[in-house]
Amino acid sequence: MTPRDLLWRGLGGVLSVGGPACELLVPGDSGGARGLLTLLFFAATVLGIILLVQGKKVALALRIDGSRHRMLPDLIRSRRRERRMSRQP
């Protein structure tokens, strides 16, 4: 495992442990903000578990999805299909 992958998995461990820990530390009489904080800590926990399992693949997938080249394989396939269809009599 690369150091970069260990970094992502370590971040996942911190989030997956930190989410429930922060939920337990929030005072019970915080009113309506309690529900919002619970959702926030739950989201952090789920993200942490995903990072623990996938590691740096999550960061790579986010980078690819945000890239303007994410549709390149589909574009190449469609152009090849068009060329094949135009060659056939």
In the chain, what is the straight-line distance between the N-terminal and C-terminal CA atoms, in Å?
A: 53
Measuring CA to CA, which residue among 3, 2, 7 is closest to residue 52? 7
d(C-alpha 87, C-alpha 76), whole Å: 17
Number of domains in the chain: 1
What domain range includes position 20?
3-87
**Stated pTM of the model:** 0.63
Q: What's the confidence (pLDDT) of residue 30?
A: 61
DSSP alpha helices (H): ranges in 1-89? 3-25, 33-54, 56-66, 72-87
Q: 26-62: per-residue pLDDT in tens?
A: 877 766 777 788 888 999 999 899 888 888 788 777 7
d(C-alpha 30, C-alpha 27), whole Å: 6
d(C-alpha 76, C-alpha 63), whole Å: 20
Three-state DSSP at 50 gives helix
